[in-house]
Every structure is written in C-alpha cells, then in structure tokens.
Structure 1
Amino acid sequence: MSKRNYRSIQAVLLLLTLIVVGFSFYFQYVVGLQPCPLCLMQRLCAFLLGMFCLMGLCLSTLKRGRFVAILQMFFATSGLFFASRQLWLQSLPAEQAPVCLPGLEILIRYFPWQDVAHALFWGSGECAEVSWQWLGLSMPAWAALYFFFMLVVCGVLYWRLGRTLRQLGRW
C-alpha cells in the first residue's frame, strides 16, 4: 500500500465521519432531538475517529499508520459497543427499561461522578426511546452500521499496512 493510497482512504473515512458528526449536530440543533447519554458517547467516539483520520492524513511514515489504525479500531469498537447497548435498551419492553434520569447538565452538577459515568456508559431511560427512524432503522442502528464499517476498513488498513511494511523490510 502506498502512502498516497493510505491518505486517500483516510480522507474518505474523514469525510464520512464529518458527515456523521454533522448529521448528529443537525438532528440536535435543527430538528430538536436531544441526545441521550449513549448518543453523546457515540458522538464522542465518532469525533475521535475523525481526529485520528486527520492524524492519518498528516503522517509522514506508514509505520505510524498502523498505530493510528489500532486507535481507530479501538474507538470504532467503543462506538459499536455504545450503539449496540442503545439498540438493546430500545428492544426492551417498557417495564424493563431503566428509569429516566435528568439531563446530563443536571447530572454533572448535582450527582456524584460515579452516577454520571454509569449513565454515560450504560445508558438511562431516554436511551430506550426510539425518536427517529429512516428506512426502518433507528439512529443507533445507523450508528452501529457506521462504526462496523469503520472497524472493518481500519482492520483491513492495519493488515495491509503490516503486509506492505513486511515487504519493504521496515518491520
């Protein structure tokens, strides 16, 4: 894999990530959908994926590209976890869904950090609500598809970079 191909792939991944993060802000500020704690964690993972795509564009060597691919796979896996958790919460019957908590601002201001971390990592009642669908899939389902795609592409990128570095004798 040449440096040019690597950068082209990172540019496409960055563009896709900018579209995903842009849509998340569009749905919050234009449509009026308030993100739940798991949505915020998915947005954070997508943002960090974008930052590492940008870092991948700026790298001078392919050897460092493998490290960037590992970090991208970590955040794609984390985002996939949060999206899957939200999909699981949405599949629960209403009586089994967790209780709704106050907004994140109130949680941060008045609750201990353990409760805030629990809400961010495991979700709350508002994470179980399906407030938007397109083509029969809810927003966390689309996010899960995005994170899965990113995970697969970054995994293939990691593998191809390793193969290229072995062929060049720079391993």
Structure 2
Amino acid sequence: MRILKSKPLWLVLALTCIGLVLASFVLTARFHLHPCHLCILQRVLFLLLAGFALLAAAFSPRLAGRTIGVLALITATAGIGVAGYQVWLQAQPMDPFSCSSSTPESIEHLVDWLGRKAPDLFMVTGLCQEVELTILKLSLAGWALIAFSAALIAGGAALLARR
C-alpha cells in the first residue's frame, strides 16, 4: 500500500533545497566563510534540483513530471559526486591546487562566469580543501553529501509514489 503522494514530496524537496541554499548564504555571511568552486557548484546543483522538483510537482503525475523527476535524480546524483569529491579532498593533505588545474575546466569557467554575474551569490574566494566550519563534526561538504543523498532517496520515493 502506497501512502505517499508524489506532488507533496516534490514540493518538500524543492523547499528543502531552497532552504539549504539560503542557509549556505547565511552561514557564509555570518561566519565569513570563503566558498570554493565546488561549494558554488553545489549551490548551483541545489538550485537546479529545486527547480526540477518544482517542475516535477507542477507536471505530476503526467509523463513530463516523471521525466523532469528523473532529471532531478540525475542532479542529486551529480551533487553526491561533487560533495563526495570535496569530502575526499578535505581528507587529503593540503594542496593549494586541490580543486583546479593550471588550465580552468568548464566547471571553473561556469562558476567564474556566475561569480561575475552575481558576485554576492556565486563569487569564489576559497580553496576546496579548506574546512572553515564544522557542524556536529561534519564539514559543510559532508552535510551537502548527506542532503544530496537524502534528495536522491526522496526523489526516488516521489517517482514511485502514488500519483
């Protein structure tokens, strides 16, 4: 027996992702944190995930809603990869070139472009290996990894939920 409905799950997921992005802005300002390329990319992925979740809720239960839901799951999976990579980097000995090579890749170009368009939201000022804040012994990247994993589970549940 399925008791979950997909639309409320997608809406909760979208609101949670928006809340996480807002929390990242507040934490950055309050504790004078310096976000790196991977931090900013995770913000972008949370915003994309929120957008896909809102669209999936709007078009649920139709095929378009399910297709957009799959895009949300892909975005959550990408977020798991990015956050997991940053957690791994933070466990390594400090290296000033930890998250970028001598020639910027497409991700760095995208993040730098976003930083020029909206510097208050997306400006890179830190290194990916630095852990500036821990909450309950987890870095913010660790919390992002948990959040993206939970989003993947919630999105999967929404796709399988009653229409």
**TM-score range normalised by the length of the shorter chain:** 0.7 to 0.9
Distance across 2 between alignment mates of 1:120 and 1:147: 23
Which residue of structure 1 lines up, in the alignment, with residue 158 of structure 2?
Answer: 157
Contact 2:99 2:128 in 1 (8 A): no
Looking at structure 2, the residues matched to 101 and 75 of structure 1 have their Cα atoms a distance apart, in angstroms, of 20
Q: 1:75 to 1:120 in 2, by over 3 A?
A: farther
Correspondence for 1:144:
145
Q: CA contact under 8 A between 2:72 and 2:155: conserved in structure 1?
A: yes
- How far the C-alpha of 1:131 sits from its partner, in A, is 0.5
Instruction: Give the stretch that moved more between structures: 69-78 or 59-68.
Output: 59-68
Q: CA deviation at 1:24?
A: 1.1
- Deviation per CA, 1:68-126: give whole Å up to 9, x if none: 211011110111111011011100022xx352789xxxxxxxx9xx51536479xxx81
Question: What is the aligned-residue identity percentage?
Answer: 29
Structure 1 runs not aligned, ≥5 long: 103-110, 165-171
Match of 1:128, SS state, is coil
Q: Which residue of 1 aligns with 2:135?
A: 134
Does the 8 A contact of 1:17 with 1:50 survive in 2?
yes
Cα distance in 2, alignment partners of residues 21 and 90 from structure 1: 21
Residues 98, 129 of structure 2: 8 Å contact kept? no
Q: Please, what TM-score do these two structures have when normalized by structure 2?
A: 0.77
Distance in structure 2 (CA, Å) of the matches to 1:44 and 1:157:
22
Give, in angstroms, the shift of residue 29 of structure 1.
2.8
Deviates more, 1:151-160 or 1:30-39: 151-160
Q: Which residue matches 2:8?
A: 8
* 8 Å contact from structure 1 (residues 76, 147) kept in 2: yes
Could you say which structure has the higher helix fraction? 1
Deviation by residue 1:24-71 (Cα, 9 ceiling, x = unmatched): 111223332121000011000000001112112321643222112110
User: What are the ranges of 5 or more consecutive residues in structure 2 without an aligned counterpart?
Assistant: 111-125
Instruction: Report the CA distance shift for 1:5/1:116 in structure 2 as closer, same or farther (over 3 A).
Output: same
Deviation at residue 22 of structure 1 after TM alignment: 0.5
Q: Which residue of 2 aligns with 1:99?
A: 97
Paired residues for 1:1-171 under 5 Å: 5-59=5-59, 61-94=61-94, 97-99=95-97, 115-117=104-106, 119=108, 126-160=127-161
CA shift in 2, pair 1:130/1:57, >3 Å: same
One-letter amino acid of the counterpart of residue 148, structure 2? F
Structure with the bigger RCO (C-alpha within 8 Å, sep 6+) is 2
State TM-score, norm by structure 1. 0.74
In angstroms, what is the RMSD of aligned CA positions? 2.8
Computing the radius of gyration over CA atoms, which structure comes out larger, 1 or 2? 1
